[in-house]
Structure 1
Amino acid sequence: MKRLKVISLLLDYPREVLWQHQHQQELLEECDNLPLLQIFINELCALPQLEAEARWVAQFERGRATSLLLFEHVHGESRDRGQAMVDLLTCYEQAGLVLNERELPDYLPLYLEYLSVQPEQDARQGITDIAPILALITARLRHQDSLYAVLFAQLLSWVDYRADSERLSKKVREESDDRSPEAIDAVWQEEQVRFLSESGGCDSAQQQHQRRFARQPAVQYLNLTSGGQ
């Protein structure tokens, strides 16, 4: 489905190809009946590429609140996340989707790419399965006046998901900003103490880098088996 494929591309790290005029026009044509996506493309590409890249990193790579790694919102750093990754990877392989060694199966743009080649009913169910997570991220992005909020809202609209906006807004207003240097520092320090106590310090530097954040309550149960079938 074109919608999911386009949103997958736009949610990913901004690539140079987006700033090539011909590619922009092709994307806009793909979204000919999706004016909000057209507006997003125009606003994103109006930024200098380096600024767009910096904004993306600040939005999705610092803190977990708006992370694009789905299982961080469900399993955190628990061992259950590993098995969930394996199960999702199996779904991708069955669909003929090949990941490179640096890609994580629960990366939202990758999941959307997978759903884009599934039957529409299965794709809609796949979005519905993660809708509570998408709704919370949408509320957080809107609270931050992020350009990217519209992409998440488009996914929710496609499956006609109605979130309790008032409750989510209240929750988001009460949250602390986990992207601040102080918050990231505190989590790193806690992770170091916790991990050293568990492993005796074996490979701690590498694993601290891979396991950046240790503390976050689970948001919702997530069913991602067979694309929501």
Structure 2
Amino acid sequence: MGAQEYKETLSLAAYLFDYPDAKWWESLKEARLAAEKAPAHQIREELLAVIDYIQEMGQKEYEEWYVRVFEFSANTNLYLTMHNRTDFGRQSKDMLEFKRLFLENGFDTNKELPDYLPAVLELSAALSRERARDVLAVAAPKLELLRSRFAEAKLAHTFLLDVILTTAEELESETA
């Protein structure tokens, strides 16, 4: 994986998971161009599959779907510690761990909780390979759980989680 490739891949995944406001829609063509330039064939195809899905659905329908699936569903929301909600102590500990990752790397989350998937991906994309690997290693078990829930729900965004997990595995193997 090239020096910038993991950063671009994680940034693009963060963008595609982010809330689709007007600015987001304006940038979707740029996201497609970035996905088309992804050097790894599988990653490129998975990113483009999600973008195709979004574009085919259309703005209004996609926004309604996004809110229903990622904001109102307990099983598929994008807050990585929410899936441990039966164990509040564990959820609090995990939330503090994500907060620590941001602060240790010189960042903070001003508008989102530190376990919000796009924020974790943006943090990883802003870091060196080794630090990105460490952040993704903390997130990986939660990403794998979320991936299984996305797969059960037959969500196209399962492909994005595959891209993120593949990128994490590649960073782990390169820096190990």
**Coarse TM-score class (shorter-chain normalised):** 0.7 to 0.9
- The question of 1:54 aligning with 2:54 is answered no
Larger Rg: 1
| Structure 1 residue aligned with 2:162 | 153
Shift, 1:60, TM fit? 1.8
The counterpart of 2:95, out of the listed 85, 90, 108, is: 85
> Which whole-Å CA distance do the structure 2 matches of 1:154 and 1:8 have between them?
11
Q: Could you tell me the percent identity over the aligned residues? A: 25
Displacement of 1:133 after TM fit? 2.4
1:27–1:159 Cα change, 3 Å = same
- Code of the residue aligned with 1:26 in structure 2: it is E
1:16 Cα deviation after fit: 1.9
1:91 deviates by 3.2
Q: Which of 34, 47, 53 lines up with 1:37 in the alignment?
A: 47
8 Å Cα contact 2:99/2:108 also seen in 1: no
Other-structure match for 1:12:
18
Q: Is 1:16–1:49's contact at 8 Å kept on the other side of the alignment? A: no
The alignment partner of 1:159 has SS state of helix
Q: Which amino acid aligns with 2:122?
A: E
Q: 1:106 to 1:28 in 2, by over 3 A?
A: same
Distance 1:84 1:130, change over 3 A: closer
Cα deviation, residue 51, structure 1: 1.1
Note the C-alpha offset of 1:3.
0.8
In the alignment, the residues of structure 2 paired with residue 80 and residue 142 of structure 1 have an alpha-carbon distance, to the nearest angstrom, of 25
How far apart are the structure 2 equivalents of 1:139 and 1:83? Answer: 23
- Size of the aligned set, in residue pairs, is 158
Match of residue 28 from structure 1: 32
Distance 1:132 1:152, change over 3 A: same
Match of 2:107 among 97, 101, 105: 97
CA–CA distance in 2 between the matches of 1:125 and 1:17? Answer: 31
Distance in 2 (CA, whole Å) between partners of 1:112 and 1:6 is 9
Tell whether the 8 Å contact from 1:18 to 1:45 is kept in structure 2 after alignment: no
- What's 1:106 paired with? 115
Displacement of 1:70 in angstroms is 1.2
Task: Give the TM-score normalised by structure 1.
Answer: 0.60
Q: What letter matches 1:2 in structure 2? A: E
After superposition, the Cα gap between the structure-2 partners of 1:144 and 1:82, relative to the gap in structure 1 and judged at 3 Å, is: closer
Structure 1, unmatched stretches of 5+, are: 162-229
What is the Cα deviation at residue 79 of structure 1? 4.1
Aligned match of 1:73: 83
Q: In 2, Cα distance between the equivalents of 1:69 and 1:118?
A: 21
Aligned to 2:174: none
User: Amino acid of the residue matched to residue 12 of structure 1?
Assistant: D
Separation in 1, partners of 2:93, 2:33: 39
Partner amino acid, structure 2, of 1:147 = A
CA–CA distance in 1 between the matches of 2:89 and 2:72? 22
Deviation at 1:153, TM superposition (A): 1.1
What's the RMSD between the two structures over aligned residues?
A: 2.4
**Distance in 2 separating the partners of 1:25 and 1:41:** 9
